[in-house]
Structure 1
Amino acid sequence: MADLQDERPDTGHVPVGPGSLGAEDTPAAPVAGALDRAAALLAVHPVADGCNTLVWTLRQSPYHDIDTPDTGVDTDIPRLRAGGVGAQFWSLLPPSAGPHASGAADQVVSDTLDQIDVALALVRRYPDGLCLALSADDLVDARNRGRIASLLGPVSGRTLTDSLSPLRAFHTLGVRILAPGGAQWAREGLTAFGHEVVKEANRLAVLLDLAGCPPVAACRIAGASKAPAVLSNTAAAALNPHPDNVTDEVLLALRAANGLAMVTFDTARTGDSLHAVADHLDHVRAVAGPECVGLGAAFGAEPGVPRPTGLTDPSGYPRLLAELLDRGWPESDLALLTWGNALRVLRDVEFTARAAQHRRTP
């Protein structure tokens, strides 16, 4: 991380470093001191990004080499390193498994297994850059070895209909996150089977991702789970009433459950500038508290997906942190935002699982 600015790929995307963006592509640059402080902080507390859809993109276009700068996608290892990303949650949600999707459950299962296969192949292909993470300790170990910890998930809750076996199978394959959004058992709350899913996820140390859940269901799942839940990519509905943004009611439920709301970089949900994203981070921090806010950019797409100016790819993270420093965020809160909160949630989930295994059998 010490050579953060030296690893900037020449891709035409947002590089890191004072004065490196053209005036047409960025708001007024923060002072160099803030950028230097952001880079120094990321060297110790890298970003644990809650959402990247590169696995689906690579499944459709399998010839991208993410070890070198590639303008065909917005994510590659050089830009992840340039942005100070130390852990990445690789989404395994195919479009057929989204919260508003329709289709047979068996097709969702098949698509999900394909996604898992692509994700595992991705980690195997780049052993010097990526490292499969199955636990919180794996995150720390990967960071210490200069690798980007790779967590698999979420998988869709629609893969579970009347049996918990798929969840246990996914866990065996390395999946550590489940998204109930769109599942019949989590539409307007939790059915009896839904409660069993939550209990089994707690027993397995599988993180519950509330993205895509209606507010009522999100609050009930957060309250029913013995372990913290997360929103892997969201923004504040109070600032932008997008249907996928989080309400203050859900933010307060996450706060009560020691959960985590991870703010996305999606212009439709946040606005079209780095400053707008910072506004959403300010709001989530104010409502849920500094211990419950994180980053879930939802990068991983091919060109053409609108991104906030200054945050068009992962290398823009230091600029966002510099903006938050200029807004008065203490470095201790930024350390929680980037790394500490995600690590704490994973440790809490594992602690809950150890306790549940004494009380509950498969």
Structure 2
Amino acid sequence: MADLQDEPQTSPATPVGPGSLGAEDTPAALLPGALDRAAALLSVHPVADGCNTLVWTLRQSPYHDIDTPDSGVDTDIPRLRAGGVGAQFWSLLTPREAAAPDQVVSDTLEQIDVALALMRRYPDSLCLALNADDLADARNRGRIASFLGPVPGRTLTDSLATLRAFHALGVRILAPAGAAWAMEGLTAFGHEVVRETNRLAMLLDLTGCPPAAACQLAAASKAPVIISHTAAAALNPHPDNVTDEVLLALGAADGLAMVSFDTALTGDSLHAVADHVDHVRAVAGPHCVGLGAGFGAELGTPRPAGLTDPSGYPRLIAELLDRGWPEADLALLTWGNAQRVVRDAEFTARAAQHRRT
């Protein structure tokens, strides 16, 4: 295992704002004061980012020090703070396809171990979040709340014990995509999985699910579902982008579609990313749009200009302010919607547990 358990390292907090990190990628000029307004908004309503793959990157290159902006990866604590990130969902998926279910489980446990080691190494900046109160508490203490997941649904075959074990380790999101129990309609076991995630207050992440499966899962779950890393298929018909049909289903179920900064999904400019955010808001509603950039790679990964690392978030918020977004909707986009779906999942779990007693 990578040596992620060195003595804790601390770094001074970085003010939210455009700063110098990634400044060479600044897009077209914004209205005067827009960046200042964006920074002010993010200081109160920080970004809850739905997707970061740093855990996998650290497994491959374990000696990056994310306490400095020269770490060799696009995600580090100074850039997260400069971008106003207050909560991060750390993806535990791996890009490789393991042949056997037990290998998928082993890979996932390794991912969890690296994620927890990351928090032990940087306790003054990162802290594990298990619920909505933890998200708020971390924000109030100036730390970045760390929400673990998703884990792959392929880890579950014919037993829910693995799901409960992941939950006990701190995982709070499950991704059904690619799982036999969700590929061509929910099987009987698939319905059990949905009920158990609801009981455990775990979110279902429908990223990568075909539209029909996504709509069925959204309807079957009593708690809101999320799509942590996507964009609008109406603007770019990429297979990982979400259709308007699914966006409408998410809106009806009070779910959350989190827009990616992957150039293959959104295009190569900040303006294009803002177009996708606009579209999701227009179709699903302002209560159902969030941000899931997909940072966490080594430097050089293609990103939209102006959004090459987490420090670019104020520029995106400034662009949306320029487009006339009310600050109330921006507060939902950055923080409010993510906190709501986590809290609603907890309410659903309490109701389920009450019915069982």
Identify which of 274, 283, 287 aligns with 1:287.
283
Equivalent in the alignment of 2:121: 125
**Aligned counterpart, 1:17:** none
**Which residue in 1 is equivalent to 2:208?**
212
CA–CA distance in structure 1, aligned partners of residues 288 and 109 of structure 2: 31
Q: Which amino acid is the alignment partner of residue 15 of structure 2?
A: D
Question: Which amino acid letter does the alignment assign opposite residue 3 of structure 1?
Answer: P
Q: What does residue 57 of structure 2 align with?
A: 57
Aligned length in residues: 345
Show the counterpart of 2:5.
Answer: none
Where do 5+ consecutive residues of structure 2 fail to align? 1-12
Per-residue CA distance 1:117-164 (angstroms, 9 max, x = gap) = 000000111000001000000000000000000000000000000000
TM-superposed deviation, 1:28:
1.1
Aligned to 2:15: 3
TM-score by length of 2: 0.94
Pairing of 1:238-277 with structure 2 (within 5 A): 238-277=234-273
Aligned to 1:311: 307
1:188 aligns with 2:181: no
The residue identity in structure 1 corresponding to 2:137 is: D
Q: Say what the alpha-carbon RMSD is for the aligned residues.
A: 1.4
1:342 pairs with 2:338: yes
CA distance in 2 between partners of 1:209 and 1:158 (Å) = 13
Per the alignment, in what secondary structure is the counterpart of residue 78 of structure 2? Answer: helix
Map 1:1-362; keep pairs closer than 5 Å: 3-5=15-17, 8=19, 13-14=21-22, 21-22=23-24, 25-96=25-96, 101=97, 103-360=99-356
C-alpha displacement at 1:32, in angstroms? 3.6
Query: Helix, strand or coil for the counterpart of 2:147?
Result: strand
Give the partner amino acid of 2:16.
L
Q: 1:71 to 1:117 in 2, by over 3 A?
A: closer
Indicate how the Cα distance of structure 1 residues 331 and 167 shifts in structure 2: closer, same or farther if over 3 A, else same.
same
Distance 1:296 1:358 in 2: 33
Q: Deviation digits for residues 178-235 of structure 1, max 9, x if unmatched?
A: 0000000000220000000000000000000000111110000000000000000000
SS at structure 2 position matched to 1:3:
coil
The letter of the residue matching 1:51 is C
Between the aligned partners of 1:76 and 1:268, the Cα distance in structure 2 is: 23
Show structure 1 runs of 5+ residues with no match.
15-20
Q: Which amino acid is 1:201 matched to? A: T
Q: Which amino acid aligns with 1:79?
A: R
Matched with 2:8 is: none
Instruction: Name the SS of the counterpart of 1:88 in structure 2.
Output: strand
2-structure distance, mates of 1:84, 1:346: 20
Structure 2 counterpart SS, 1:277: helix
For 2:325 and 2:184, the matched residues in 1 are separated by: 37
Letter in 1 for 2:89: F
